[in-house]
Amino acid sequence: MNLEKYGPWALIVGGSEGIGAAFARKLAAKKFNVVLIARKTQPLAELASELRTTGVEVRTLSADFSKPDVLESVRAVTGDIEIGCLIYVAGANIRGNFVDLAPEVHRSIIAVNVPAPVEFARHYGAAMKSRGRGGIILAGSSSNFLGSPTPAWPVSR
């Protein structure tokens, strides 16, 4: 990924583990500064320490994207920097029988997968549009297209 076009900062939602951590390592290797967001503080702190050894700047924020108003808390840690790349890979990988899951579980899955990425793409996308550069990656799951037991997520096309 091109630092001139998509830097100097990347914001990675779900950036502590899995695919998000892999993006963070690749981007830091290319000298992107990164903002990492997830709920658990320890994986965030461990990855931030690792990435700082490459010489890049790293900010972390513990935030739950199933909660309302999360954009405000993220804006507070990104307001003074230029986010040229937004990567949204926070997943709600909950399995279970659809009708047996509690309503609040369904609501949290929807919150992480639908309104939050829309809100973030709009907010950071608007700044990218005005700068005339930047990029957004939103991860989803092909499970939405397949009929199989237990990934009975209430989010589908």
Ligand X SMILES: NC(=O)c1ccc[n+]([C@@H]2O[C@H](COP(=O)([O-])OP(=O)(O)OC[C@H]3O[C@@H](n4cnc5c(N)ncnc54)[C@H](OP(=O)(O)O)[C@@H]3O)[C@@H](O)[C@H]2O)c1
The footprint of ligand X (CB under 6 A) covers: 14, 16-20, 38-40, 43, 64-66, 89-93, 112, 139, 141
Q: Which is nearer to ligand X, 56 or 112 (CB)?
A: 112
Q: Which is nearer to ligand X, 5 or 118 (CB)?
A: 118
CB of 133 to ligand X, least distance (A): 25
Query: Six-digit token pair at 24?
Result: 């963070």
Side-chain half-sphere CA neighbours of 137 within 13 A: 18
Shortest Å distance, C-beta 115 to ligand X: 12
Q: Which is nearer to ligand X, 73 or 141 (CB)?
A: 141
Q: What angle do CA 37, 96, 148 make, to 5 degrees?
A: 100
The greatest distance separating any two alpha carbons of the chain, rounded to the nearest whole angstrom, comes to: 49
Task: Write down the least CB distance from residue 132 to ligand X, Å.
Answer: 29
Q: Which is nearer to ligand X, 8 or 18 (CB)?
A: 18
CA separation (Å) from 33 to 30, 41, 52, 55, 84? 9, 19, 9, 9, 10
| Whole-number Å distance between alpha carbons of 155 and 112 | 10
CA distance between the termini of the chain: 30
CB of 89 to ligand X, least distance (A): 4
Q: Cβ closer to ligand X: 67 or 129?
A: 67
Cite the beta strand spans of the chain per DSSP E. 9-13, 33-38, 58-62, 83-88, 135-138
Shortest reach from residue 30's CB to ligand X, in Å = 20
